[in-house]
Amino acid sequence: MNSRPSLPPVCVIEAIPVPGDHEIPADEARAEGVPTPAHLRLERELGRGAMGHVHPAIDRNLLRHVALKRLDKEFADSPQYRDGFIAEAQITGQLEHPNIVPVHELAIDRHGVPFFTMKLVQGVSLTRWLDTHALGTERLERGLEIMLKVCDAVAYAHHRGVIHRDIKPDNVMVADFGQVYLMDWGLARLTKTHPASSAHADQTGPVGTPAYMAPEQARGNPSEMDERTDVFGLGAMLYELLTGQLPYGKPAPARVIMLRAHMGAIVPLDTAAPGGGIPRRLQAIIERAIDPEPGKRYQTVVELQQELRAFLRGGFYLPRRVFQPGEIIMREGDVGDAAYMIVSGRCHAFRNLGNEKESLAVMTAGEVFGEMSLLLGEPRAASVEAVELVTVLVLTQQTMTEGLGIDGWTGALVHALAHRFRDLEHQFRNAGIRRSTLPPELVKRGP
């Protein structure tokens, strides 16, 4: 559905039904097969699909703005299309989740045309959202927040025994106040029950949108399609979010994209974004999600979502260690193989000067230490002791490489800054300047 003007303020008329004429003339409604139930006031068409149309409408009793989706009258007499339309409404209606658009009612009008009403979403499609947000940090952070909500919807559907099979930006609505909805369950497949008709049975043939289609969808064997098929669709959207490109390459006729999908001919992320700057950890997440082999993908959406959330939070996926008061966390002169971020508690950094200790700093939650030695591969320049019970996040060379892409231009910048700070520190020490003496309350804690 396209964006609509903002809704008016809530009002009360204290009468039912509220009078008013349809925007669509009666003769036009009859000719087009538009349902005109007495309790709704229909407006002009809002959007259309391959076999149906969507109209905004007002519920005359509740004064609620809704969307009415109807099947084209040309398909209303076909059991396959009619049953499939009804199945879509019944599936969506049972998926009661904050990120799945609510269905209000399902009916067949007096001319035999099935329709259902649902929440009218005020916003834009994710396709439009991507078009209006340039590649960069803001797009990535906000886009990942949207993707986490889509993952919520898909994970819930999988729990209820439904796979979507057409996950793409066109089917995600980003509403005006931050709501996110996964729409259009017309190609959904049941995995734990069987439909009464053949509309949603295991029919063979490709299903979905080629540009976001998993290879098993292109092969068209329903028995190969499961939750991991939707994982691929989510990964394809992440690929586009990160690079602005599609997994199967530049736009081409549908048959060409379908062939690429059938072959699993995914363009490597490094090729799609040749400028670099892709966080290694996120790159690994996407590459696993869109692996052509289902067995190599995340086996559940929950696994994918957990990885995305850990990346987005930044650092909080790192392992933690706890140190007791008086325990040495790192020792001067040791070779550094890790850096640390304090989660809770206080630490004291100091250097040994003969029989005395030069106090450098008392550090609290949020501060980082040990990074210079880790970056430069040099011995520790100071010791750090836990003043009280301390919890830290542990950052190793591997996690730094994965998280920052440290072997690219980012790494060159970080290493240059590390060398500069080290040189300044050496100048400071060679000048014979001492920071301070150890605070009296910490003297007894020294080794």
**Residue written as token pair 């295991």:** 202
Q: Where in the chain is the domain with CATH 2.60.120.10?
A: 320-443
pLDDT confidence tier of residue 404, bands split at 50, 70 and 90: low
Residue range 320-443, CATH number: 2.60.120.10
Q: Where in the chain is the domain with CATH 3.30.200.20?
A: 26-119
Q: What class has domain 26-119?
A: alpha beta
Please report, for the chain, how many H helices and E strands are present, in that order. 14, 19
**Stronger pLDDT, 446 or 122, i.e. the higher one:** 122
Residue range 124-192+205-313, CATH number: 1.10.510.10
In whole angstroms, what is the distance from residue 352 CA to residue 268 CA? 51
- Which backbone phi and psi does 97 adopt, to 5 degrees? -145, 145
**Stronger pLDDT, 74 or 8, i.e. the higher one:** 74
State mean pLDDT over 68-86: 91
Window from 103-117, 144-158, 404-418 with minimum mean pLDDT: 404-418
**In 100-214, where does DSSP find H-type helix?**
126-131, 137-159
pLDDT of residue 439: 53
pLDDT confidence tier of residue 28, bands split at 50, 70 and 90: confident
pLDDT of residue 421: 58
- Residue 371 pLDDT > 70: yes
CA terminus-to-terminus distance, the chain: 68
Q: Where in the chain is the domain with CATH 1.10.510.10?
A: 124-192+205-313
Do the Cβ atoms of 227 and 294 come closer than 8 Å? no
Please state the separation of Cα 271 from the chain's center in Å: 22
State mean pLDDT over 223-234: 95
Q: Write the pLDDT tens digit of every residue in 347-360.
A: 999 998 888 888 99
In whole angstroms, what is the distance from residue 265 CA to residue 247 CA? 8
- Which backbone phi and psi does 169 adopt, to 5 degrees? -60, -35
Q: What 3-state class would DSSP assign to 104? A: strand
Q: Write the pLDDT tens digit of every residue in 294-342.
A: 999 999 999 999 999 988 876 445 677 899 999 999 999 998 788 898 9
Distances in Å between the alpha carbon of 425 and those of 320, 360, 429, 430, 433?
29, 12, 6, 9, 11
Q: Which helix (H) or strand (E) is 189 found in, with range? A: strand 189-190
Supply the DSSP symbol for 74.
G
Report percent pLDDT > 70 for the chain: 84
Q: The pTM is what?
A: 0.70
State mean pLDDT over 283-300: 96
- The answer to whether the peptide bond before residue 17 is cis (omega within 30 degrees of 0) is yes
Window from 49-63, 96-110, 200-214, 423-437 with minimum mean pLDDT: 423-437
pLDDT of residue 314: 63
Task: Name the average pLDDT for the chain.
Answer: 85
Report percent pLDDT > 90 for the chain: 51
pLDDT confidence tier of residue 4, bands split at 50, 70 and 90: very low
Q: Write the pLDDT tens digit of every residue in 128-171.
A: 999 999 988 789 889 999 999 999 999 999 999 999 999 999 99
The residues annotated as belonging to the active site are 166
pLDDT confidence tier of residue 394, bands split at 50, 70 and 90: confident
